Amino acid sequence: MQAGNQQQRIPMENLSKPVFAQDEMGRPFIIVKDQGNKKRSHGLEAIRSHILAAGQVSNIMRTSLGPRGLDKILISPDGDINITNDGATILSEIQLNNEVAKLMVELSKSQDEEIGDGTTGVVVLAGALLDQALELIEKGIHPIKVANGYDKACKIAIANLDRIADTVHIDSENIDANLSKDSDLFRAASTSLGSKIVSKCHDQFARIAVESVLNVANLERKDVDFELLKVEGKLGGSLEDSKVIKGVILDKDFSHPQMPKEITDAKIAILTCPFEPPKPKTKHKLEVESVEEFKQLQEYEQGKFKQMIKDVKDAGANMVICQWGFDDEANYLLLSNELPAVRWVGGSEIETIAIATKGRIVPRFEDLTPEKLGHAGKIREVPLGTTRERILVIEDCANPKTVTALIRGSNKMIVDEATRSLHDSLCVVRNLIKDSRVVYGGGSAEISCSLTVTEAADKQKGIDQYAFRAFAQALDIIPMSLAENSGQDPIQTLTNLKAQHVKNDNAFLGVDCLGKGSNDMKGQFVIETLIGKRQQLLLATQLARMVLKINDVIVTGKDQY
């Protein structure tokens, strides 16, 4: 301190720890590193905060992994309760205010949209990769070096998956053979349902999944058109009442209660124009000043109604499906002319009906011709249990590849969870038709990849070997979580399985979650699709690399300094 009006100068190297100083007036104060920029975190601190946020999301999902995974109760802001262990559903309902945590939600959505299964596993794996990366970064290894090492290790792991993959048999000549309990497709669908709420109807839902996908699949091209497959959930009845309907289900009934409840050999006019006379434009008005003028207007409307019905009858239609509504007068005329009708059918449902019946959507009555009618063998109105609710079932359609899986349940929570469970199973069967290669579950694929990456790490020189070993340790989180959720000692179980993998050179040994007394996942036929497992590794590694490259968060429009 040279003079009272000069501030003491502190060396920059001393700013890493608290320093006492005096201002120009001689008053003491403390200088702490980054004191003037508390709102922002840079470098290691930013990466640490990001990884910790992602780890919290991952830890929430760990306990829901596997057939013994625990469920979560989701309570909406309105107080609605939902119980599920589906990863994509849980993450979509969680309210997050951290940007990196939101990336974990997007990761789960990507897995769900691309593969349909494995949403929990990909989040757990990504969280483990980030946790291992944080340890390396705190030891002084640059995040970019870790990210690049992860990328190389992931390629080795995927190559190992291709090596240990097995092929399931799909009988393309005898389709019904795939519905038997001994078929590979049926057993694969059963595996995906093992951790779901529908496990008591295990075989029934597996059969629904296989039958639904095979009906819309092209086995020669190995293609499945999910647009032709709909899953509808309806309250009433039990899960055992769920079934596959080869056709379309409409959440509607006939517009008049006296219309017939069943139509055979239906010729359907699919209309997007309303059953009503043309109205004046908004800039015009119609004044009726006498009884005679009112009668003329009434006769004009009656004439228009009759002309519309005549156009429909002349085209040969015996059934009308209309996107818009119509009043009681039109409804009465349709009934008297023996034309059953359904009104207020949504646009997406109209398109589905047109695809199923091979009909054309008609925007004007004048354009209606016999060639534009849709065809179905039977249309019937079906009551749902003891309630007044009814649905319309369109069966034996002109396009036989249109299928609807009808899910029944005693309450909305059961129906929703059963619908999500069936969706996962449908996706597994679809993926097997696209690529019939599988890897075996129970964490066996992850253990095999972990050993392979560890072996590769011993051959590496430089920083990459540390990233390789971190990647291998992150893969161990899957079998350890499965063992922990099954009530087993996770460390001991993993150690024994790794020893058996090396000793027997058997990549099919995994965690016996169901307590069947065998660790041979091939013998138990616990499988996961190869494309699903590969996508898990790729997406988790990609997210880890993305997070490791973030060192700051800037909120647009806010002062950061």
The DSSP code sequence of 387-400 is SS-EEEEEEEESST
pLDDT reading at 181 higher than 50: yes
The percent of residues above 90 in pLDDT, for the chain, comes to 26
pLDDT reading at 329 higher than 60: yes
Region 468-497 average pLDDT: 92
* Cβ pair 57, 101 in contact under 8 A: yes
**Contacts for 61 with CB less than 8 Å, ≥ 6 apart:** 87, 90, 91, 120, 123, 124, 127
* Cβ pair 107, 419 in contact under 8 A: no
The mean-pLDDT minimum among 36-40, 174-178, 537-541 falls in 36-40
pLDDT reading at 13 higher than 60: no
- Name the token pair of 117: 């299964």
The mean-pLDDT minimum among 98-102, 103-107, 128-132 falls in 98-102
Query: According to the per-residue pLDDT averaged within each range, which of 89-98, 179-188, 529-538 is highest?
Result: 529-538
**Contacts for 11 with CB less than 8 Å, ≥ 6 apart:** none
**Contacts for 547 with CB less than 8 Å, ≥ 6 apart:** 47, 50, 51, 54, 100, 103, 130
Region 412-417 average pLDDT: 85
* Cβ pair 444, 466 in contact under 8 A: no
**Alpha-carbon span 278 to 194, nearest angstrom:** 57
* Cβ pair 72, 93 in contact under 8 A: no
Per residue, what are the HEC states of 159-199?
HHHHHHCEECCCCCCCHHHHHCCCCHHHHHHHHHCCCCHHH
CATH 1.10.560.10 spans which residues of the chain?
43-167+440-548
**Contacts for 155 with CB less than 8 Å, ≥ 6 apart:** none
Active-site pick, 84, 89, 119, 404: 119
**Alpha-carbon span 497 to 480, nearest angstrom:** 11
The percent of residues above 70 in pLDDT, for the chain, comes to 88
CATH 3.40.50.2300 assigned to 43-167+440-548: no
Give catalytic status of residue 424 as yes or no. Answer: yes
* Cβ pair 321, 340 in contact under 8 A: no
Give the pLDDT band of residue 305 (cuts 50, 70, 90). confident
Pairing of strands 403-409, 243-245: antiparallel
Alpha helices in 75-118 (DSSP H): 87-93, 99-114
Beta bridge partners of 401: none
Active-site pick, 131, 184, 416, 424: 424
Give the pLDDT band of residue 555 (cuts 50, 70, 90). low
Pairing of strands 262-271, 361-362: parallel
* Cβ pair 72, 64 in contact under 8 A: yes
- With CA atoms as reference, report the closest residue to 406 among 245, 247, 193: 245
Active-site pick, 63, 86, 131, 520: 86
Average pLDDT, rounded, for the chain = 83
Collapsing DSSP to helix, strand or coil, 31 comes out as: strand
- With CA atoms as reference, report the closest residue to 120 among 61, 63, 195: 61
**Looking at this protein, which amino acid is placed at residue 221?**
R
DSSP single-letter state for residue 520: B
Region 26-48 average pLDDT: 53
Distance of CA 141 to the CA centre of its chain: 37
- With CA atoms as reference, report the closest residue to 314 among 357, 255, 373, 388: 373
**Alpha-carbon span 399 to 42, nearest angstrom:** 60
Its CATH class, for the domain covering 247-280+289-399, is: alpha beta
Question: What pLDDT shows up at residue 31?
Answer: 47
Region 182-203 average pLDDT: 78
Give catalytic status of residue 184 as yes or no. Answer: no
Count of other CB atoms within 10 angstroms of residue 285: 7
- With CA atoms as reference, report the closest residue to 550 among 111, 140, 151, 98: 98
**Contacts for 305 with CB less than 8 Å, ≥ 6 apart:** 275, 277, 329, 330, 333
Collapsing DSSP to helix, strand or coil, 235 comes out as: strand
Give catalytic status of residue 311 as yes or no. Answer: no
The mean-pLDDT minimum among 189-198, 263-272, 345-354 falls in 189-198
Question: What pLDDT shows up at residue 27?
Answer: 54
Considering the entire predicted model, what is its pTM?
Answer: 0.77
Region 489-512 average pLDDT: 91
CATH 3.50.7.10 spans which residues of the chain?
247-280+289-399
Give catalytic status of residue 120 as yes or no. Answer: yes
**Looking at this protein, which amino acid is placed at residue 54?**
A
**Alpha-carbon span 374 to 342, nearest angstrom:** 14
